[in-house]
Chains A and B, each alone.
Chain A
C-alpha cells in the first residue's frame, strides 16, 4: 500500500474501533463533565479574571488529554496488535495515522470543553471569536502532536498511566503557556493582531513537534 492509503487506513481503523466500543469517548466526556462541575462548585458566582478562566479552561483540556490520548498506542500493546501493525505499515504511516486520529480527538475534546464552559460559566464570554477559534485549532493540534509521540514512548513502559502526564508536561509547557495567554486575549476581546505573536509561537511549536516526532518515531517504533 502506498503511504497515503495506509495512513488513512490506520485512521479509519482507529475511528472504527473507538466507535465500536465508545469506551474512550464516554470516559473522556465524563471526565470533562466532572472537572467542569468541580470548578463550577468551587467558583459559584464569583467573578474570576480572564487569565484565571483561560487557565482553568486549558487545565481541563490538559488533564482530559492526559487521560485519553495515550490510548492509541497503549491499546495496541494491550491487544497485542503492535507487531501486526509494524509488519503491515511503514512507521511514518503509523505515526501520521495516529497523529491525525489524535488531532481529531483533541479538537473534539476542546470543542466539548468550550461548549460546556459557555453553558456553565456566564462570565465565559468569547469576545474575539477569531482569536479563540484559531487558538483552539492550533492548540489542539499542538497538544496532539506532543501527546502522540509521548504516547508511543510510554506504550512500552511499565507504569503507563502516571508516567504519561509526567513525561508530557515539560514538553507541553511552551504550548500551554502560549495558549493560555492567547485564550485570555480572546476572552478580553482584543483585536486579532495582538495575538499574532502567540500564533507564531503556536505554529512553530506545531511544526517543530511534528517534524521532531516524525524523525524520532522510527527509533521508538522499531525494535
Chain B
C-alpha cells in the first residue's frame, strides 16, 4: 500500500511538471519538447489530466461491478462496502471528467456539449451512477440494498459493450480531432502521439489509477470503521 501511495504522488507530480512545463514548439527536438498539433496547440496539455479522470471513473464503475458480483457470490458485507465506496469515487471522477471535458470542448469545438459519442457515453455513465445511488437510498435493509445494487451494477455493465463498440458506428459524430482515430467511445482510445507525449500520458494514467486505489482504500477503511461503530451502538 505504501508503494501505491508514494508512486501515485511521484507519478502525478511528474505529469504535472512534464505536462505543463515542457514547451510546445514547431520543430520538436529530443525529449523535452512537444510538437504543435494544429487546432489544439497549448490546450493539448489538458489530455494529461482530463483523460485520466474519465479513465478513473470507468475504473470506479468496474470495481463497483466486480465487488457487487463478489458480494452476490459470498454474501460478505465487506464487498458491499467496497462496492459503494468504488461507486462514490467513480462518480466524483465522472463529474470531474464531464466538467473538464465540457470546458475543453467549449474552447476546442465551440460549445459546451455536442453529443459526440464519447461525451454521450460519459454522460450515460453519470446517469448510471446517479441511478445506482438513487436505488441505494430507496432501500432500507442493508442486505436488500447490497443485493439489489449489485444486481443493478451488473445489469448496467451488460449494456456497456454497446457504448464501447456499437455506438461509434451508429452515431459517428465529430471525433476529437487531434486525438486521432479511436478504438471506441470509452475514454480508452488509440492516440497518435509522439513518444515523449505518450510516455507522460501513460504515466498520468497509471498515476491516477494508483491515486484511485489509494483513495478507495481510505474510503473503505472509513466506511468499515463507521460500520463497526454502528454495530456497537446497536
Contact between chains at B124 and A149 (CB < 8 Å)? no
Contact between chains at A219 and B128 (CB < 8 Å)? no
Distance (whole angstroms) from the CB of A184 to the closest CB of chain B? 12
On chain B, the residues within 8 Å of A170 by CB distance are 124, 127-128, 131, 156, 159
Contact between chains at A205 and B162 (CB < 8 Å)? yes
Interface of B is mostly: helix
Contact between chains at A174 and B150 (CB < 8 Å)? no
Binary interface profile of B, 140-156, with partner A (CB < 8 Å = 1, else 0)? 10001001101110111
| A156 and B148 alpha carbons, distance in the complex (Å) | 9
| A111 and B46 alpha carbons, distance in the complex (Å) | 50
Number of interface residues of B (CB under 8 A): 29
Distance (whole angstroms) from the CB of A52 to the closest CB of chain B? 15
Q: Does A59 contact B (CB under 8 A)?
A: no
Contact between chains at B139 and A156 (CB < 8 Å)? yes
- B-contacting residues, A125-153, CB 8 Å: 149-150, 153
Contact between chains at B154 and A212 (CB < 8 Å)? yes
On chain B, the residues within 8 Å of A159 by CB distance are 138
Binary interface profile of B, 158-200, with partner A (CB < 8 Å = 1, else 0)? 1100110011011100000000000000000000000000000
Q: Does A171 contact B (CB under 8 A)?
A: yes
Residue in contact with A219 in the complex, picked from B72, B124, B162, CB distance below 8 Å:
B72
Q: Does A197 contact B (CB under 8 A)?
A: yes
Q: Does A71 contact B (CB under 8 A)?
A: no
- A-contacting residues, B57-76, CB 8 Å: 72
Contact between chains at A171 and B166 (CB < 8 Å)? no
Contact between chains at B170 and A181 (CB < 8 Å)? yes
Residue in contact with A197 in the complex, picked from B72, B135, B154, B169, CB distance below 8 Å:
B169
Q: What 3 pairs between A and B have smallest CB-CB spacing?
A: A174-B162, A157-B138, A170-B127
Instruction: Supply 20 A–B pairs (Cβ within 8 Å), ascending by A.
Output: A150-B155, A154-B135, A157-B139, A157-B148, A166-B131, A167-B135, A169-B127, A170-B127, A170-B131, A174-B166, A178-B170, A201-B170, A205-B162, A208-B159, A212-B154, A212-B155, A212-B158, A216-B154, A220-B147, A220-B148
Contacts A170-B127, A208-B158 given; 7 further ones with Cβ under 8 A? A153-B152, A157-B135, A160-B138, A163-B134, A167-B135, A170-B124, A178-B170
